Every structure is written in structure tokens, then in C-alpha cells.
């Protein structure tokens, strides 16, 4: 009998991705259906339903679900859920009872859906409840405000993983696959480390703190869309890979990726991260400073506090809170605000802007901030960007001549 946490809702994993003859038959049927184009975020949500990451959802949410999730963290059924999972359109012709095909922004048929409800929402209300702002500079708010006029609800059949397995190979693991890997290694207490960035020394320290008390850590990297300026998934994965290979004990870390876009919803997104990590088999989620945040929209530890505000028993996967970490020159090593008595002048702290500027200029990052092997991967990436820009300028000059 498995010692891992149960999937969300207490039942079995519920992957909606069809296979074999059923997949072929539904894909043939889908080609004759009216099409609704999904955003990148909606496509990622659908793929998560397909692989069982959003167990036990069977489709996009109804108005009652949307309202319950926005206002009270729960669907109409009473199931805990922190962020709406919805599909939108501007198509006036679609009505309840229709069968539709849902397609990605590249035109690939991703699934089919039986429309059970078509409804309008107050987008500003969703933004205030989920993101705590209606500021269009917030990338999550911008996504909601760009949605279509109507939301469509109904059960889905998923027909594709969006090419993630083909692109990322063994790194793209489904919840069934991570659970099987944990079982094989004899793990039951597993901490998930959420990342959309390469791992610097502070991230390494967080993971190692978890390893001291857990059986292992799942370094779980977002493979979906990010905001401009963020490091692409393949570069991030390479950087994380060299870190694990050189600085972690064998059989303590598994690196994997998942197909969602970032919503940058801060505290609410931290809850979503814990929920789907439960489906992946993780008992804990490492929650550090400014988890899933952007700009100054959330307090640095709001994502930790929110776990104390939700009803008890909402999630089996619990938060592992760790304070802000850094290298302290006086301590002579990694430390946190909780353990280090020294001042900020003794700490090696670099902003993302500063790191990008140093890498773009080919400078070495301090070894106290980033392992040399990681920095080398990032320097190579930024050098390729610089070369690309140089070629563009040269081509533009030639065309002008």
C-alpha cells in the first residue's frame, strides 16, 4: 500500500488524456466540430487535466465554481480550489449543449468539450480576489482582462500533451510517473521545490534544508509561458541539472517539469502549487520569500501566511516555510534572516536585474551567489542573446543600405 499522500479529493489520479483507439476516434470526431482557440494559459490548464495534475477536475469550471473559488476557495461541490480554471471565448454563437473542439494558439486540436454552461463574469472581481489588484501592469491581471466575453463550462476529453514530452523527454513527468519514481526510491516524505528560475545558492540551500528532514526533493520546474526577460525552460533545466550533478548527494533529488504558465498570483498560486504537488505525490511544498510573486503586489511572506488562513484539511500537502536565505560574509556561509544576526551589508544579495546585467556583459557571478557550473550555463545563454542581437543589427544595416 502506498505511503504517499493521496491525490487531491482523496480518490485516485484522474488523467483525462485519451490513448490508443479512443484517442484516434475522438480526434477524428473533433475535426468536424466548431473550434474555440485557447490562450497559452488555458492550454496549460487543459494539459494538466490531461495528465492528472489537476485531479479531480473533469473540465472547465461553471459559474458557481468560479464564484465559489474566487470568494471562498471552494467549488460548488465543496472541493477546495484556490484559483479559477476557466475557458473563455468571444463567440456569440456557441450555446449550452454544443460539442466543441479546443485548439492551441498554434492551431493544434488539444481536446473536445461538451458545453454545459455559457456565462459572463466580472473580471475585475476575479482580479481583486485572486491577484489583489486590477493593475494591468500585473501579468496575471493582464491575462484575465484579455479573456473573452464569455466563459464556457463543461467536461473535456484531452487529446494532446502539447508536445511537452517530445520536447523535454524524461523531464516531463506526469503525476503517475513521479509517484512511481518516489515509490521505487522508497520515499514517502517528499518536498517539492517550485521554480521558474535557475537555482542559485539560496535555492540550493532551501532544497538541502528540506533534504535534511525529508526522504527527497522534487525540483519541479515550470515549463509553460513566462513573462518577458525570464530564463527559458530548456536553459533553466540545464542549469539545474549541472547543479544537481555536482552539488547534491545521489538519490536525494529528482528534477521534473510541468506544463503550466505562471499566473504570478502570489499567495493564491502558492496554494495551487501545493494542490497539484499533492497529485504529484509530494507531502510538502517549500515556500520561501515572495513565492510566485511579481513586483510589489504581495508581502514577502504572504504566501506562507495564507496556508494558516484556509480551512483545516483543505490540502494533504503542507507548506514548509523557510525564511529569506543568502550568503553572509560574517557567518562564512549560507544563512537566513532567522539564523543570521548580521546586517544587510554583510550579505551578498543580487537583484535579478543586476544578475542579468552581469551575465549579459560576460561577467562572473560571485561564487557565494551562484555555483560556477550554473553561471557558465547562464553566461552561454546570454552570450547567444547578444550574438543574436548583433546579427539582427547587422542584417538591418545591410537592408537599409
What is the rounded distance in angstroms from the CA atom of residue 300 to the CA atom of residue 287?
A: 11
For residue 103, pLDDT beyond 90: yes
Shared-domain flag, residues 220 and 338: yes
User: Given pLDDT bands bounded at 50, 70 and 90, which one contains residue 168?
Assistant: very high
For residue 20, count CB atoms less than 10 angstroms from its CB and return exposed for 0-12, middle for 13-18, buried for 19 or more: exposed
Q: How far, CA to CA in Å, does 355 sit from each of 168, 352, 381, 382?
A: 26, 5, 13, 11
- The answer to whether 17 touches 50, Cβ cutoff 8 Å, is yes
Shared-domain flag, residues 25 and 76: yes
Question: Which residues constitute the domain of residue 36?
Answer: 20-162
What is the rounded distance in angstroms from the CA atom of residue 143 to the CA atom of residue 146?
A: 5
Shared-domain flag, residues 268 and 349: yes
In a domain, 11, yes or no: no
Provide the percentage of residues in the chain whose pLDDT is more than 90. Answer: 88
Shared-domain flag, residues 349 and 222: yes
Closest CA to 40 of 175, 142, 168: 142
In a domain, 14, yes or no: no
Positive or negative torsion for Cα 125, 130, 133, 134: negative
Shared-domain flag, residues 48 and 103: yes
What is the rounded distance in angstroms from the CA atom of residue 153 to the CA atom of residue 102?
A: 12
For the chain, what is the radius of gyration of the CA atoms?
Answer: 22
Shared-domain flag, residues 370 and 229: yes
User: Given pLDDT bands bounded at 50, 70 and 90, which one contains residue 389?
Assistant: low
Average pLDDT over residues 197-225: 95
User: Given pLDDT bands bounded at 50, 70 and 90, which one contains residue 392?
Assistant: low
Catalytic residue among 189, 196, 321, 356: 196
Shared-domain flag, residues 123 and 175: no
What is the rounded distance in angstroms from the CA atom of residue 72 to the CA atom of residue 129?
A: 9
In a domain, 331, yes or no: yes
For residue 119, pLDDT beyond 80: yes
162, 180, 209 - which closes a domain: 162
41 carries an active-site annotation:
no
Average pLDDT over residues 15-21: 98
Shared-domain flag, residues 112 and 175: no
In a domain, 317, yes or no: yes
63 carries an active-site annotation:
no
Shared-domain flag, residues 334 and 203: yes
Q: Please give the pLDDT value at position 1.
A: 82
Look at the block and give the residue holding cell 450555446: 95
Give me the CATH number covering residue 288.
3.40.50.620
| 3-class DSSP state of 6 | coil
Q: How many domains, in total, are found in the chain?
A: 2
Listed in sequence order, the DSSP H helices in 137-266 are 139-145, 164-168, 175-185, 201-213, 233-247
The lowest-confidence range among 202-206, 262-266, 392-396 is 392-396
Shared-domain flag, residues 305 and 379: yes
In a domain, 390, yes or no: no
Catalytic residue among 197, 277, 347, 356: 197
Average pLDDT over residues 92-114: 97
Average pLDDT over residues 195-211: 94
In a domain, 3, yes or no: no
- The answer to whether 304 touches 206, Cβ cutoff 8 Å, is no
| pTM as predicted | 0.94
Average pLDDT over residues 154-158: 98
Secondary structure E strands in 227-342: 253-258, 284-287, 318-321, 325-328, 333-336
What is the rounded distance in angstroms from the CA atom of residue 96 to the CA atom of residue 334?
A: 57
Shared-domain flag, residues 105 and 229: no
Closest CA to 123 of 138, 105, 142: 142
| 3-class DSSP state of 219 | strand
Q: Please give the pLDDT value at position 203.
A: 95
In a domain, 334, yes or no: yes
Q: How far, CA to CA in Å, does 370 sit from each of 221, 232, 329?
A: 18, 18, 15
For 51, phi then psi, to 5°, come to -90, 0
Give me the CATH number covering residue 98.
3.10.400.10
Q: What is the mean pLDDT of the chain?
A: 94
In a domain, 144, yes or no: yes
What is the rounded distance in angstroms from the CA atom of residue 337 to the CA atom of residue 188?
A: 30
For 347, phi then psi, to 5°, come to -105, 140
Shared-domain flag, residues 198 and 53: no
For residue 234, pLDDT beyond 70: yes
For residue 269, pLDDT beyond 80: yes
What is the rounded distance in angstroms from the CA atom of residue 139 to the CA atom of residue 270?
A: 16
128, 162, 196 - which closes a domain: 162
User: Given pLDDT bands bounded at 50, 70 and 90, which one contains residue 197?
Assistant: confident
145, 162, 179 - which closes a domain: 162
| Cα 166 → chain centroid | 19
Amino acid at each position: 500500500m502506498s505511503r504517499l499522500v493521496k491525490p487531491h479529493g482523496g480518490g485516485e489520479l484522474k488523467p483525462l488524456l485519451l490513448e490508443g483507439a479512443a484517442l484516434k476516434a475522438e480526434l477524428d470526431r473533433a475535426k468536424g466540430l466548431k473550434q474555440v482557440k485557447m490562450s497559452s494559459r488555458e492550454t496549460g490548464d487543459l494539459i494538466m487535466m490531461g495528465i492528472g495534475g489537476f485531479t479531480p477536475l473533469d473540465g472547465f469550471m461553471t459559474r458557481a465554481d468560479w464564484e465559489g473559488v474566487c470568494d471562498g476557495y471552494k467549488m460548488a461541490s465543496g472541493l477546495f480550489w484556490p484559483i479559477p480554471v476557466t475557458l473563455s471565448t468571444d463567440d456569440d454563437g456557441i450555446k449550452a449543449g454544443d460539442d466543441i473542439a479546443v485548439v492551441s494558439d498554434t492551431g493544434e486540436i488539444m481536446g473536445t468539450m461538451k458545453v454545459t454552461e455559457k456565462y459572463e463574469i466580472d473580471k475585475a472581481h476575479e482580479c481583486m480576489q485572486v491577484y489583489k489588484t486590477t493593475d494591468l501592469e500585473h501579468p496575471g491581471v493582464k491575462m484575465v482582462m484579455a479573456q473573452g466575453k464569455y466563459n464556457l463550462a463543461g467536461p473535456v476529453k484531452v487529446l494532446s500533451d502539447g508536445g511537452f514530452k517530445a520536447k523535454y523527454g524524461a523531464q516531463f513527468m506526469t503525476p503517475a510517473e513521479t509517484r512511481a519514481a518516489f515509490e521505487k526510491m522508497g520515499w514517502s516524505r517528499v518536498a517539492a521545490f517550485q521554480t521558474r528560475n535557475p537555482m542559485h545558492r539560496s535555492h540550493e540551500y532551501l532544497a538541502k534544508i528540506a533534504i535534511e528532514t525529508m526522504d527527497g526533493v522534487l525540483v519541479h520546474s515550470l515549463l509553460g509561458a513566462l513573462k518577458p526577460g525570464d530564463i527559458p525552460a530548456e536553459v533553466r533545466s540545464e542549469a539545474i541539472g549541472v547543479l544537481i550533478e555536482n552539488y547534491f548527494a545521489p538519490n536525494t533529488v529528482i528534477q521534473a517539469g510541468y506544463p503550466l504558465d505562471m499566473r504570478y498570483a502570489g499567495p493564491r498560486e502558492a496554494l495551487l502549487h501545493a494542490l497539484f504537488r499533492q497529485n504529484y505525490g509530494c507531502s510538502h511544498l517549500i515556500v520561501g520569500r515572495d513565492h510566485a510573486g511579481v513586483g510589489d503586489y504581495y508581502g514577502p511572506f504572504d504566501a506562507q501566511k495564507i496556508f494558516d488562513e484556509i480551512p483545516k484539511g483543505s490540502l494533504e500537502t503542507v507548506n514548509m516555510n523557510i525564511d529569506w536565505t543568502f550568503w553572509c560574509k560574517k557567518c562564512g556561509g549560507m544563512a537566513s534572516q532567522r539564523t543570521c544576526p548580521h546586517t544587510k551589508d554583510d550579505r551578498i544579495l543580487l537583484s535579478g536585474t543586476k544578475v542579468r546585467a552581469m551575465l549579459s556583459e560576460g561577467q562572473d557571478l560571485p561564487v557565494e551567489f551562484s555555483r560556477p557550473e550554473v553561471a557558465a550555463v547562464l553566461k552561454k545563454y546570454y552570450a547567444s542573446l547578444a550574438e543574436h542581437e548583433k546579427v539582427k543589427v547587422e542584417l538591418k544595416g545591410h537592408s537599409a543600405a
